[in-house]
Amino acid sequence: MMLKGKLKIPEKHRRAFPDRLGSLVAGFEDKEAEGGIFDLGFESGEELETFQSNGFGSENENGDDDKTDAELDVPVRRRSSREILTPVSASAILAADEKRSELEFELSQKDINIEKLQRIASSSLPDGGGLRATTWKLLLGYLPASRDIWEGALTESRLKYAALKEELLLSPSEFTRRKEETIASHEQDRGCDVDGPLRRHEISHEDHPLSLGKTSFWHKYFQDAEIADQIDRDLQRTHPDMKFFSGDSSFSRKNREAMRNILLLFAKLNPAIRYVQGMNEVLAPLYYIFSTDPDEQNAANAEADSFACFVRLLSDSVDHFCQQLDNSAVGIHSTLSRLSEILKANDEELWRHLEISNKVNPQFYGFRWITLLLTQEFSFNSIMRIWDSILSNPFGIQDMLLRICCAMLLCVRSRLLSGDFIANLKLLQHYPEINIEHLLRVAQELSPDTSSFRLSP
């Protein structure tokens, strides 16, 4: 069963979920070989490398895990992050207040101007008040532009998610129990003598735990259990310095359980893709933003909303996970080639140094950047800011993502030009601290059709 039959996905996204997507390119692991050279190929069936999260946490002074949802808000800095913060001036505070007012006004309109919303979001969304949660839902097409139909659209989507969980995430024993209850109920309706001798119910081949048939509920359950174990291991490593995701509190366990449901359901609905290590990192910002919405009803339905938006977010890049499409116009190799072309158009000298002289091809670093939407390169707070720009780009997520990837190269241009293969590879796989706003300005100024580019002094 595929996803397009269950949820209403915009027409432009439906292409990303064909009936058969082929096997998944799921690996990219750096291995040091003889002579210090890295084996950087990625093969179908491998897992993406496990990457350490950045330094944010919300540990309280007493080490108490049993904090309320409100007390476990935005993570605080624990150690050096991957972005450089600039002092906040009075004019910047006034500008932020003005932007908040402008955004609140726009979101209060009966018919929301999506183009205006994109313009506001591209220069950063304000924290708090659920503004980012509502805006992201609009930018991803989950919420319609007309406020009048928000309630109906949300109710329908959330009910569909609940039905999907009911259908696909039940254990075989629970499925059998409910089936027996249904049979018993039907017998009562037909006036059967319920006080008579017990009747033996036959167990079908599909219902038997030892059945090896591919259609067996138990066979599918054991297959899903392997995926669930992988998801659980990855969720344990998701932002371990943030109490929202990590720890043994009931709060963090509840959040991990919700994310587990989302990822497992996505895997079951898309058997050709299943689950890829790293999808947990892509889901984390969505679930965090939606579940910390001060609107209680929205926060209570964060799981359903996150699933729908996760599907939409991946629909723009799901072809990157299909090995059969690797060399097609929509495959990962084509996207990496686009990154190379943008770099060449904007700085041919740097392009020539990296790809001709050093042989540092985009797949050595860009595969992770692109497939995980930069979630492993920057701090959690920086990712939310970067995603404001990515999700608000009128030309699509991939367009802005590639611009940012190219800007990341241009912003360390001098170090790359002076480095050799090993030095440049290490630099790009462990991207240095940078001013995020400057990075995004550089990305905005780029154009795939520009023959030359110079950074502003």
Residue 56 forms beta bridges with which residues? 77
Could you tell me the domains of the chain? 121-181+213-316 (no CATH), 323-445 (1.10.472.80)
CB burial of 313-342 (b: ≥16 within 10 Å; e: otherwise) equals bbbbbbbbbbbbbbeeebbbbebbebbbeb
Instruction: For the chain, give the mean pLDDT.
Output: 77
Per-residue pLDDT tens digits for 346-394: 999 999 999 999 999 999 999 999 999 999 999 999 999 999 999 999 9
Angle at which helices 250-269 and 302-315 cross, to 10° = 40
Distance CA 113, CA 106 (A): 7
Q: What percent of the chain has pLDDT over 70?
A: 64
- In the predicted model, what is the mean pLDDT of residues 414-421? 97
Distance CA 38, CA 422 (A): 8
* pLDDT confidence bin for 315, thresholds 50/70/90: confident
Q: What is the DSSP letter of 393?
A: -
Q: What is the DSSP letter of 35?
A: G
In this structure, what token pair is assigned to residue 383?
A: 């990712």
In this structure, what token pair is assigned to residue 138?
A: 């609009």
Predicted confidence at residue 38, as pLDDT, reads: 37
Q: What is the DSSP letter of 123?
A: T
Whether the pLDDT of residue 57 is over 60: the answer is no
Name the residue with higher pLDDT: 103 or 450. 103
Whether the pLDDT of residue 39 is over 60: the answer is no
CB 429 within 8 A of CB 365: yes
In this structure, what token pair is assigned to residue 260?
A: 């587990």
Predicted confidence at residue 386, as pLDDT, reads: 98
Greatest mean pLDDT range, 4-18, 35-49, 165-179, 303-317: 303-317
CB 218 within 8 A of CB 208: yes
* pLDDT confidence bin for 188, thresholds 50/70/90: low
Per-residue pLDDT tens digits for 200-244: 455 455 554 544 555 555 556 666 888 999 999 999 999 999 999
Angle at which helices 279-291 and 250-269 cross, to 10° = 130
Whether the pLDDT of residue 187 is over 70: the answer is no
CB burial of 205-229 (b: ≥16 within 10 Å; e: otherwise) equals eebeeebeeeebbbbbbeebeeebe
Distance CA 130, CA 118 (A): 17
